[in-house]
Amino acid sequence: MLRDMKSQPTGLRAAAVGAAFGIALASGGAWAQLDQLSIMAPASPGGGWDQTARAMQKALQDSGTVRNVEVTNVTGAGGTIGLAQFVSRSAGQADQLMITGLVMVGAILTNQSPVTLEQTTPIARLTGEYEVIVVPAASEITSLDQLLDQLKADPASVSWAGGSAGGTDHILAGLIAKAVGADPALVNYVPFSGGGEALASLLANDVTAGVSGLGEFEAQIAAGELRALAISSPERLEGYDIPTLMEQGVPVELSNWRGVVAPPGIDDAERDALVAAVEAMVNSESWQTTLTQRNWMSLYLAGDEFAEFLKNDQARATEILKDIGLVQ
């Protein structure tokens, strides 16, 4: 059963899509449904990358964009084990995709991975979450300015609770320090293996501040247990009375984004077919429903624009992790 995809937003000729995926076209030259796609989640089942892969699986199939979608999991080392397998085993295969994100960008650097995202084919950035900086409600610090004044006077006196060393939270703490003139190498970052541990440390007033995705601290902020000082979005988020870093004079914007890449060695027509398929998925009712149900923020950016974003994001992460001292 082939699905007419003329109405879907693509920049490809039907013949190019058909050739790229080795499928037949419907009569009259209509767009053909893609037959098979495999999506690797380079992490354990249940986590953010796995959830993204399975949400894509459902939306691609529900929308009729792809007939059969398989999700596989390869765990370990911040996604770099999966990345290595993806690049080596899937090269030239245009029916393969892999979930990636800023966490992998950091893990590649801190794990000194010999395989990098530069060896993949960027397809699209899909979703993301902005980071929030909080302090315990009992803290004497009531504003970002107070926190930054202490950071500038004595960086080591400000302890930051966040996720794994070299991850998104650590990157943001380093970027903030650098932006206000403090030495990122002196940032007193306390990594925790899970958000629950970081939250417990904050609520016990054991650390000065916490940094994580908004969803991690949202309930405690609403309950008055944590005080939100700033968020890393370019503009204030609707429904949240949290000022941005930028509006408070700190020129830093950061999202913990998730996206999807294809293997190396595919040609332009194959890449464009995958971009078109993902765009059709993003515009589908199924994907939009998933965004609403999971409270995911769409940060969709496709093709060449995503490739440029990825290049810049890797350069920024490399620079700040070198400044912090985690990367040589």
For residue 21, pLDDT beyond 70: no
Domains 14-128+257-306 and 129-248 share a fold: yes
More confident: 211 or 28 = 211
Tens digit of pLDDT for each residue in 42-77? 999 998 999 999 999 999 999 999 999 999 999 989
> H or E stretch including 195?
helix 195-203
pLDDT score at 2 = 26
pLDDT score at 62 = 95
User: What's the mean per-residue pLDDT of the chain?
Assistant: 90
C-beta separation of 116 from 86 below 8 A:
no
- Alpha-carbon span 61 to 135, nearest angstrom: 43
> H or E stretch including 66?
strand 66-73
Instruction: Identify the band that residue 33 occupies on the pLDDT scale cut at 50, 70 and 90.
Output: low
Class of domain 14-128+257-306: alpha beta
C-beta separation of 253 from 246 below 8 A:
yes
pLDDT score at 196 = 82
Three-class secondary structure assignment of 271-299: HHHHHHHHHHHHCCHHHHHHHHHHCCEEE
- Taking each helix axis from N to C terminus, what angle separates 168-179 and 303-324, rounded to the nearest 10 degrees? 70
Tens digit of pLDDT for each residue in 82-118? 999 999 999 999 999 999 999 999 999 999 999 999 9
Domain boundaries, the chain: 14-128+257-306, 129-248
- Is CATH 3.40.190.10 the classification given to domain 129-248? yes
> What's the pTM?
0.87
CA distances from 274 to 30, 126, 165, 195 (A): 17, 14, 34, 34
- Alpha-carbon span 321 to 328, nearest angstrom: 9
Instruction: Identify the band that residue 193 occupies on the pLDDT scale cut at 50, 70 and 90.
Output: confident
Structure tokens that stand for 197 in this block: 């541990």
Give the mean model confidence (pLDDT) for residues 218-245.
Answer: 96
Tens digit of pLDDT for each residue in 138-147? 999 999 999 9
